Amino acid sequence: MKKILIIGTGGTIASAPSEVGLVPALTSEQLLEHIPSVAAFCKVDCMQIFTLDSTNIRPGHWLLIADEIRSCYDRYDGFVITHGTDTMAYTAAGLSYLIQNSAKPIVITGAQRPINEDGTDAKRNLTDALIYACDEGSHGVSLVFFGSVICGTRARKNYSKSFMAFGSVNFPELARIQDGHVIRYVPEQVSGAPMFYDYMDPNVGLIKLTPGLNDDVMQYAIEKYDGLVIESFGVGGLPEYSDFHVHIRRAVDRGKLIVMTTQVPNEGSDLSVYRVGRTLKSNLSVLEAYDMTSEAVLTKLMWILGKTNDFETAKALFYRPVAHDILCV
Protein backbone atom coordinates (compact mmCIF):
# COMPACT_ATOMS: atom_id res chain seq x y z
CA MET A 1 0.00 0.00 0.00
CA LYS A 2 1.33 3.47 -0.94
CA LYS A 3 2.38 5.80 1.85
CA ILE A 4 1.31 9.42 1.37
CA LEU A 5 2.02 12.54 3.43
CA ILE A 6 -0.72 15.19 3.55
CA ILE A 7 0.68 18.65 4.22
CA GLY A 8 -1.98 21.07 5.48
CA THR A 9 -1.62 24.79 4.76
CA GLY A 10 -5.14 26.15 5.42
CA GLY A 11 -7.55 27.50 2.76
CA THR A 12 -11.33 27.20 2.41
CA ILE A 13 -11.12 23.39 2.50
CA ALA A 14 -10.07 23.69 6.16
CA SER A 15 -12.09 26.77 7.04
CA ALA A 16 -14.83 27.34 9.61
CA PRO A 17 -17.22 30.29 10.01
CA SER A 18 -16.29 33.07 12.41
CA GLU A 19 -17.77 36.47 13.21
CA VAL A 20 -15.51 38.02 10.60
CA GLY A 21 -15.98 35.46 7.85
CA LEU A 22 -14.42 32.10 6.96
CA VAL A 23 -11.04 31.40 8.54
CA PRO A 24 -8.81 28.34 8.14
CA ALA A 25 -9.07 26.27 11.32
CA LEU A 26 -8.89 22.51 10.64
CA THR A 27 -5.67 20.52 10.54
CA SER A 28 -4.86 18.02 7.79
CA GLU A 29 -5.57 15.27 10.33
CA GLN A 30 -9.10 16.63 10.86
CA LEU A 31 -9.60 16.82 7.06
CA LEU A 32 -8.62 13.16 6.74
CA GLU A 33 -11.30 12.16 9.27
CA HIS A 34 -13.91 13.20 6.69
CA ILE A 35 -12.73 10.65 4.09
CA PRO A 36 -12.28 7.36 5.99
CA SER A 37 -12.71 5.29 2.79
CA VAL A 38 -9.21 6.24 1.58
CA ALA A 39 -7.78 3.83 4.16
CA ALA A 40 -8.71 1.09 1.69
CA PHE A 41 -6.04 2.15 -0.81
CA CYS A 42 -3.35 4.17 1.01
CA LYS A 43 -1.66 4.77 4.30
CA VAL A 44 -1.63 8.45 5.21
CA ASP A 45 0.42 10.54 7.60
CA CYS A 46 -0.56 14.14 8.27
CA MET A 47 1.37 17.28 9.10
CA GLN A 48 0.37 20.91 9.38
CA ILE A 49 2.98 23.35 8.10
CA PHE A 50 0.92 26.54 8.60
CA THR A 51 -2.77 27.48 8.64
CA LEU A 52 -3.42 30.39 6.31
CA ASP A 53 -5.92 31.83 3.92
CA SER A 54 -3.86 31.51 0.75
CA THR A 55 -4.24 35.25 0.19
CA ASN A 56 -1.52 35.48 2.86
CA ILE A 57 0.85 33.00 1.24
CA ARG A 58 4.17 34.39 -0.05
CA PRO A 59 7.22 32.89 -1.79
CA GLY A 60 8.78 32.09 1.61
CA HIS A 61 5.89 29.67 2.26
CA TRP A 62 6.64 27.80 -1.01
CA LEU A 63 10.22 27.39 0.24
CA LEU A 64 8.92 25.97 3.54
CA ILE A 65 6.71 23.44 1.70
CA ALA A 66 9.56 22.42 -0.64
CA ASP A 67 11.90 22.05 2.32
CA GLU A 68 9.40 19.86 4.19
CA ILE A 69 9.00 17.59 1.14
CA ARG A 70 12.76 17.40 0.71
CA SER A 71 13.31 16.40 4.34
CA CYS A 72 10.87 13.47 4.20
CA TYR A 73 11.11 12.65 0.48
CA ASP A 74 12.53 9.16 1.07
CA ARG A 75 9.86 8.19 3.60
CA TYR A 76 6.79 8.62 1.36
CA ASP A 77 5.58 7.53 -2.08
CA GLY A 78 3.79 10.80 -2.71
CA PHE A 79 2.66 14.11 -1.21
CA VAL A 80 -0.71 15.87 -1.10
CA ILE A 81 -0.81 19.55 -0.17
CA THR A 82 -4.14 21.03 0.93
CA HIS A 83 -4.21 24.73 0.06
CA GLY A 84 -6.50 27.70 -0.50
CA THR A 85 -7.66 28.08 -4.08
CA ASP A 86 -6.93 31.79 -4.45
CA THR A 87 -3.16 31.47 -4.88
CA MET A 88 -3.02 27.73 -5.53
CA ALA A 89 -1.90 28.20 -9.15
CA TYR A 90 1.05 30.33 -7.98
CA THR A 91 2.06 27.74 -5.37
CA ALA A 92 1.76 24.96 -7.96
CA ALA A 93 4.02 26.89 -10.36
CA GLY A 94 6.46 27.91 -7.62
CA LEU A 95 6.83 24.31 -6.41
CA SER A 96 7.34 23.16 -10.01
CA TYR A 97 10.57 25.21 -10.07
CA LEU A 98 11.66 24.44 -6.50
CA ILE A 99 11.22 20.67 -6.95
CA GLN A 100 12.18 19.46 -10.42
CA ASN A 101 12.37 15.98 -11.92
CA SER A 102 10.45 14.35 -9.07
CA ALA A 103 9.46 10.77 -9.80
CA LYS A 104 7.15 11.00 -6.79
CA PRO A 105 3.88 12.92 -7.21
CA ILE A 106 3.35 16.21 -5.39
CA VAL A 107 -0.37 16.96 -5.65
CA ILE A 108 -2.03 20.23 -4.62
CA THR A 109 -5.73 20.40 -3.89
CA GLY A 110 -8.32 22.43 -2.01
CA ALA A 111 -12.00 23.27 -2.24
CA GLN A 112 -14.47 26.04 -2.96
CA ARG A 113 -16.56 25.09 0.12
CA PRO A 114 -15.31 24.01 3.59
CA ILE A 115 -15.15 20.28 4.28
CA ASN A 116 -17.66 20.64 7.17
CA GLU A 117 -20.35 22.13 4.91
CA ASP A 118 -23.18 20.14 3.28
CA GLY A 119 -22.59 19.70 -0.44
CA THR A 120 -18.89 20.52 -0.14
CA ASP A 121 -16.48 19.69 -2.97
CA ALA A 122 -13.68 19.11 -0.42
CA LYS A 123 -14.18 15.36 0.12
CA ARG A 124 -14.17 14.61 -3.59
CA ASN A 125 -11.09 16.77 -4.26
CA LEU A 126 -9.06 15.36 -1.36
CA THR A 127 -10.00 11.78 -2.24
CA ASP A 128 -9.14 12.39 -5.92
CA ALA A 129 -5.80 13.94 -4.94
CA LEU A 130 -4.94 10.82 -2.89
CA ILE A 131 -6.04 8.52 -5.74
CA TYR A 132 -3.79 10.45 -8.13
CA ALA A 133 -0.88 10.48 -5.66
CA CYS A 134 -1.13 6.67 -5.39
CA ASP A 135 -1.10 6.03 -9.15
CA GLU A 136 2.11 4.53 -10.57
CA GLY A 137 2.08 6.89 -13.56
CA SER A 138 1.93 10.12 -11.51
CA HIS A 139 5.07 12.26 -11.24
CA GLY A 140 6.06 15.82 -10.42
CA VAL A 141 3.89 18.73 -9.31
CA SER A 142 0.23 18.80 -10.29
CA LEU A 143 -3.07 20.29 -9.17
CA VAL A 144 -6.16 18.10 -8.73
CA PHE A 145 -9.55 19.79 -8.67
CA PHE A 146 -13.10 18.76 -9.69
CA GLY A 147 -11.76 15.66 -11.43
CA SER A 148 -9.12 17.51 -13.48
CA VAL A 149 -5.41 16.88 -13.10
CA ILE A 150 -3.47 19.92 -14.24
CA CYS A 151 0.27 20.30 -14.69
CA GLY A 152 1.69 22.56 -11.94
CA THR A 153 3.02 25.12 -14.44
CA ARG A 154 -0.25 25.34 -16.39
CA ALA A 155 -2.97 25.92 -13.80
CA ARG A 156 -5.20 29.00 -13.64
CA LYS A 157 -8.11 29.76 -11.32
CA ASN A 158 -10.90 30.58 -13.80
CA TYR A 159 -13.98 30.61 -11.55
CA SER A 160 -14.24 32.32 -8.17
CA LYS A 161 -17.27 30.29 -6.96
CA SER A 162 -17.97 27.24 -9.14
CA PHE A 163 -16.58 23.84 -8.24
CA MET A 164 -14.84 23.55 -11.63
CA ALA A 165 -12.53 26.34 -10.52
CA PHE A 166 -9.30 25.51 -12.39
CA GLY A 167 -8.32 25.15 -16.01
CA SER A 168 -5.16 24.15 -17.84
CA VAL A 169 -3.75 27.00 -19.96
CA ASN A 170 -2.21 26.28 -23.38
CA PHE A 171 -1.60 22.64 -22.44
CA PRO A 172 -3.86 19.56 -22.16
CA GLU A 173 -5.01 18.24 -18.79
CA LEU A 174 -2.58 15.54 -17.63
CA ALA A 175 -5.40 13.23 -16.57
CA ARG A 176 -8.92 13.01 -15.19
CA ILE A 177 -10.15 11.16 -12.13
CA GLN A 178 -13.40 9.41 -12.94
CA ASP A 179 -15.25 7.02 -10.61
CA GLY A 180 -12.08 6.55 -8.60
CA HIS A 181 -9.90 5.78 -11.64
CA VAL A 182 -7.11 7.77 -13.25
CA ILE A 183 -7.66 8.33 -16.97
CA ARG A 184 -4.30 9.57 -18.20
CA TYR A 185 -4.02 11.82 -21.27
CA VAL A 186 -0.34 12.79 -20.99
CA PRO A 187 1.90 9.87 -20.02
CA GLU A 188 5.09 10.91 -18.25
CA GLN A 189 8.39 9.30 -17.46
CA VAL A 190 10.97 10.56 -15.01
CA SER A 191 14.48 9.22 -14.63
CA GLY A 192 17.27 10.34 -12.33
CA ALA A 193 17.18 12.06 -8.96
CA PRO A 194 14.87 14.93 -8.00
CA MET A 195 16.38 18.41 -7.84
CA PHE A 196 15.46 20.63 -4.90
CA TYR A 197 16.17 24.36 -4.82
CA ASP A 198 16.17 26.35 -1.62
CA TYR A 199 16.23 29.96 -2.74
CA MET A 200 14.03 32.28 -4.78
CA ASP A 201 14.22 36.03 -5.28
CA PRO A 202 10.84 37.22 -3.99
CA ASN A 203 11.40 40.71 -5.43
CA VAL A 204 9.66 39.98 -8.74
CA GLY A 205 6.44 41.69 -9.78
CA LEU A 206 3.78 41.80 -12.43
CA ILE A 207 2.13 44.83 -14.00
CA LYS A 208 -0.87 44.83 -16.30
CA LEU A 209 -0.86 47.34 -19.15
CA THR A 210 -4.00 49.44 -19.39
CA PRO A 211 -4.69 52.07 -22.04
CA GLY A 212 -2.84 55.21 -20.91
CA LEU A 213 -1.02 53.53 -17.98
CA ASN A 214 0.81 56.23 -16.02
CA ASP A 215 4.49 56.48 -16.94
CA ASP A 216 5.56 57.03 -13.30
CA VAL A 217 3.80 53.83 -12.22
CA MET A 218 5.67 51.79 -14.84
CA GLN A 219 8.97 53.48 -13.97
CA TYR A 220 8.45 52.78 -10.26
CA ALA A 221 7.63 49.10 -10.87
CA ILE A 222 10.68 48.67 -13.10
CA GLU A 223 12.98 50.37 -10.57
CA LYS A 224 11.51 48.60 -7.53
CA TYR A 225 11.70 45.00 -8.76
CA ASP A 226 14.64 42.80 -9.81
CA GLY A 227 12.39 41.17 -12.38
CA LEU A 228 9.13 42.41 -13.87
CA VAL A 229 6.46 40.64 -15.90
CA ILE A 230 4.52 43.01 -18.15
CA GLU A 231 1.09 41.71 -19.13
CA SER A 232 0.63 43.39 -22.47
CA PHE A 233 -2.33 43.42 -24.87
CA GLY A 234 -3.00 40.74 -27.53
CA VAL A 235 0.11 39.05 -28.92
CA GLY A 236 2.21 41.72 -27.23
CA GLY A 237 3.63 45.21 -27.63
CA LEU A 238 4.61 48.31 -25.69
CA PRO A 239 2.91 51.70 -26.09
CA GLU A 240 5.00 54.18 -28.11
CA TYR A 241 3.54 57.35 -26.56
CA SER A 242 5.44 57.05 -23.25
CA ASP A 243 8.96 56.59 -21.89
CA PHE A 244 8.42 52.89 -21.17
CA HIS A 245 11.19 51.95 -23.63
CA VAL A 246 13.68 54.26 -21.86
CA HIS A 247 12.84 52.81 -18.43
CA ILE A 248 13.21 49.25 -19.68
CA ARG A 249 16.55 49.98 -21.42
CA ARG A 250 17.92 51.46 -18.18
CA ALA A 251 16.66 48.53 -16.09
CA VAL A 252 18.02 45.84 -18.39
CA ASP A 253 21.42 47.61 -18.44
CA ARG A 254 21.38 47.30 -14.64
CA GLY A 255 20.82 43.53 -14.83
CA LYS A 256 17.05 43.38 -14.31
CA LEU A 257 14.90 40.88 -16.17
CA ILE A 258 11.82 42.10 -18.01
CA VAL A 259 9.37 39.61 -19.55
CA MET A 260 6.56 40.53 -21.93
CA THR A 261 3.48 38.36 -21.76
CA THR A 262 -0.16 38.81 -22.66
CA GLN A 263 -3.22 39.48 -20.53
CA VAL A 264 -5.31 37.47 -23.03
CA PRO A 265 -6.21 34.20 -21.26
CA ASN A 266 -5.26 31.78 -24.05
CA GLU A 267 -2.75 31.22 -26.90
CA GLY A 268 0.13 33.34 -25.57
CA SER A 269 2.30 36.07 -27.06
CA ASP A 270 4.03 36.64 -30.40
CA LEU A 271 6.06 39.83 -30.29
CA SER A 272 7.16 39.45 -33.90
CA VAL A 273 3.77 40.40 -35.38
CA TYR A 274 3.40 44.17 -34.84
CA ARG A 275 5.78 47.15 -34.87
CA VAL A 276 4.88 47.84 -31.21
CA GLY A 277 6.37 44.46 -30.31
CA ARG A 278 8.89 43.43 -32.96
CA THR A 279 11.97 45.30 -31.74
CA LEU A 280 11.51 44.75 -28.00
CA LYS A 281 13.64 41.62 -27.89
CA SER A 282 16.43 42.80 -30.22
CA ASN A 283 16.66 46.42 -29.00
CA LEU A 284 15.71 46.12 -25.35
CA SER A 285 16.68 42.52 -24.43
CA VAL A 286 13.17 41.87 -23.19
CA LEU A 287 12.28 38.18 -22.75
CA GLU A 288 9.05 36.77 -24.19
CA ALA A 289 6.64 34.45 -22.37
CA TYR A 290 5.13 32.81 -25.48
CA ASP A 291 2.64 30.17 -24.23
CA MET A 292 3.65 30.29 -20.53
CA THR A 293 1.12 31.30 -17.88
CA SER A 294 1.75 34.52 -15.93
CA GLU A 295 1.90 32.41 -12.74
CA ALA A 296 4.68 30.31 -14.26
CA VAL A 297 6.57 33.33 -15.67
CA LEU A 298 6.49 35.12 -12.32
CA THR A 299 7.71 32.14 -10.30
CA LYS A 300 10.26 31.09 -12.94
CA LEU A 301 11.80 34.58 -12.73
CA MET A 302 11.97 34.23 -8.94
CA TRP A 303 13.73 30.88 -9.34
CA ILE A 304 16.14 32.16 -12.01
CA LEU A 305 17.03 35.35 -10.12
CA GLY A 306 17.68 33.18 -7.09
CA LYS A 307 20.38 31.42 -9.13
CA THR A 308 22.04 34.02 -11.34
CA ASN A 309 22.32 37.71 -12.23
CA ASP A 310 24.05 37.05 -15.55
CA PHE A 311 21.67 37.98 -18.39
CA GLU A 312 22.74 35.30 -20.89
CA THR A 313 22.54 32.54 -18.26
CA ALA A 314 19.15 33.83 -17.12
CA LYS A 315 17.88 34.00 -20.72
CA ALA A 316 18.99 30.40 -21.41
CA LEU A 317 17.30 29.21 -18.20
CA PHE A 318 14.12 31.14 -19.00
CA TYR A 319 13.66 29.51 -22.42
CA ARG A 320 14.65 26.01 -21.20
CA PRO A 321 11.42 24.08 -20.56
CA VAL A 322 10.79 23.00 -16.96
CA ALA A 323 7.82 20.73 -16.20
CA HIS A 324 6.02 21.51 -19.51
CA ASP A 325 6.01 25.25 -18.77
CA ILE A 326 6.91 26.43 -22.28
CA LEU A 327 6.36 24.80 -25.66
CA CYS A 328 6.61 27.49 -28.34
CA VAL A 329 10.11 29.00 -28.10
Point out the residue whose Cβ comes nearest to ligand ASP.
84
Decide if residue 112 touches ligand ASP (CB under 6 A).
Answer: yes
55 part of the interface to ligand ASP, by CB under 6 A? yes
Stretch that binds ligand ASP, among 81-89, 146-154, 303-311, 316-324 (CB under 6 A): 81-89
Spatial CA neighbour of 23 closest among 66, 52, 62, 55: 52
Specify the residue, 49 or 103, whose C-beta has the smaller distance to ligand ASP: 49
Residue 295 within binding range of ligand ASP, rule CB under 6 A: no
86 binds ligand ASP (CB under 6 A): yes
**In terms of CB distance, is 125 or 142 closer to ligand ASP?**
125
Least distance (Å) between residue 314 CB and ligand ASP: 31
Residue 231 found at the interface with ligand ASP (CB under 6 A): no
Residue 293 bears catalytic tag = no
* Interface residue with ligand ASP, options 8, 59, 84, 140 (CB under 6 A): 84
Nearer to ligand ASP, 56 or 210 (CB): 56
- Taking CA atoms, 283 is separated from 230, 249, 277, 280, 287, in Å, by 17, 8, 11, 6, 11
- Least distance in Å: CB of 160 to ligand ASP? 9
Our CB check for ligand ASP shows the closer of 12 and 48 to be 12
**219 makes contact with ligand ASP (CB under 6 A):** no
Binding of ligand ASP by 82 (CB under 6 A): no
Using the minimum distance from each CB to ligand ASP, give the nearer residue, 89 or 228: 89
Please give the Cα distance from 26 to 188 (Å, whole number).
Answer: 34
Does position 110 interact with ligand ASP (CB under 6 A)? The reply is yes
SS (H, E, C) the chain: CEEEEEEEEECHHHEECCCCCCEECCCHHHHHCCCHHHHHCEEEEEEEEEEECHHHCCHHHHHHHHHHHHHCHHHCCEEEEECCCCCHHHHHHHHHHHEECCCCEEEEECCCCCCCCCCCCHHHHHHHHHHHHHCCCCCEEEEEECCEEEECCCEEECCCCCCCCEEECCCCCCEEEECCEEEECCCCCCCCCCEECCCCCCCEEEEECCCCCCHHHHHHHHHHCCEEEEEECCCCCCCCCCCHHHHHHHHHHCCCEEEEEECCCCCCCCCCCCHHHHCHHHHHCCEECCCCCHHHHHHHHHHHHCCCCCHHHHHHHHHCCCCCCCCCC
Q: Minimum distance between the CB of residue 120 and ligand ASP, rounded to whole angstroms?
A: 11
Q: Closest distance between ligand ASP and the C-beta of residue 62, in Å?
A: 14
- Site size toward ligand ASP, by CB under 6 A: 10
Write down the least CB distance from residue 24 to ligand ASP, Å.
Answer: 7
The answer to the question of residue 53 lying near ligand ASP (CB under 6 A) is yes
Catalytic residues: 12
Binding site for ligand ASP (CB under 6 A): 11-12, 53-55, 84-86, 110, 112
